[in-house]
A and B are shown apart, each in its own frame.
Chain A
Amino acid sequence: MESGGMMLRLRASEQDHRIAQLAALAVVIHVLESALPSPLPGVKPGLANVITLAVLFIYGLRAAIWVSLLRVLAGSLLAGTFLSPTFVLSLGGAVSSLLLMALLSRTGLLLAAPGPADWRLGPVGVAVLAAQAHMLGQFALAYVLFIPHPALLGLLPVLLGMALVFGLLSGYIGRHLLRQLVGPDVSALESNR
């Protein structure tokens, strides 16, 4: 029976759809990547972050935060690691790199902001810094929560070295992606901040 109740309709904007699509793409990359064997625990290429990177440059910080956190949440649900240590570390890494991106974005250092391009950060620089932030945040969390042993520190140079390599890789892929999406002049982007 129909009562006089009101129906609540959520209006999804154009941008909501785009964020959902890009987050879904990141989740797919995340899940495919987790099927790859890893030589060291904690070392992963993290190519899903290429999507976060592109979103940061095209749609701005807020959208990047959504895409990244949705990716961690949905990725963990699909992989069955939700609320497990893996999830905690994954979230910690994502939050660390998002904080760094927020800092870069707020200080107007991103290439998408107006200003001379020489002293702005492009996708490669952002990816390298974000990868380091990701690894450091994750490492600090692992040290404090799971393995508070000084011997763990011996692993840090290896982990940060891998983060540098994969950060560069993600950065170059992200730069290529941005060129495909918005053309060669990333600095001409109107930022949605």
Chain B
Amino acid sequence: MSRLDRLLVALVGLALAGVTVLLWRPAQQGAWAEVLVGAEVVRRLPLDHAQRIEIGGRLGTSVLEVAQGRVRFVDSPCPGKLCVHAGWLRHTGESSFCLPNGVGLRIAGLHEVYDAINF
């Protein structure tokens, strides 16, 4: 192998490492959760502070839980429980809504990421 061969193979290896680091970065962690009742943001919950809160809606009380940097619906007075089954939300842009009760939960952060790109 000539010197240029060695140099270029090393450069390709480095570029590969760079591309890997760049493309395999963990997704952006959300900073706080916004609680919505109707279209209004009624509370902002920091994700680093574990707590359980109750939010009143059209049908009754929705129970939310923050733990380990994530947030979820624990219970809600709706027939389908889609909001509960959505599970833990962690990343900016993730959301879960209890439409019957009119209570929503979404993660906001400093850097909003697109959840879909159309072109």
A contacts, CB < 8 Å to B: 109, 111, 117-122, 124-125, 128-129, 132, 148, 150, 153-154, 156-157, 160-161, 164, 168
- CA–CA, A96 and B9, complex, Å: 18
Is B19 engaged at the interface, CB distance under 8 Å to the other chain?
yes
List 8 interface pairs A-B (beta carbons < 8 Å), by A numbering: A121-B8, A122-B1, A125-B5, A125-B6, A148-B119, A157-B16, A157-B23, A164-B13
Which residues from A are CB-within-8-Å of B117?
Answer: 150
Is B86 engaged at the interface, CB distance under 8 Å to the other chain?
no
Task: Pick the contact of B1: A124, A153, A157 (CB < 8 A).
Answer: A124
Which residues from A are CB-within-8-Å of B13?
Answer: 164
| Least Cβ–Cβ distance between B115 and chain A, in angstroms | 11
Q: Which chain B residues in 1-17 approach chain A with CB under 8 Å?
A: 1-6, 8-9, 12-13, 16
Let me know if A125 and B23 touch, CB within 8 A.
Answer: no
Decide yes or no: A132 and B12 within 8 Å by CB, A120-B4, A124-B1, A148-B119 being known contacts: yes
Number of residues in B with C-beta < 8 Å to the partner?
A: 17
Which residues from B are CB-within-8-Å of A157?
Answer: 16, 19-20, 23-24
Which residues from B are CB-within-8-Å of A129?
Answer: 8, 12
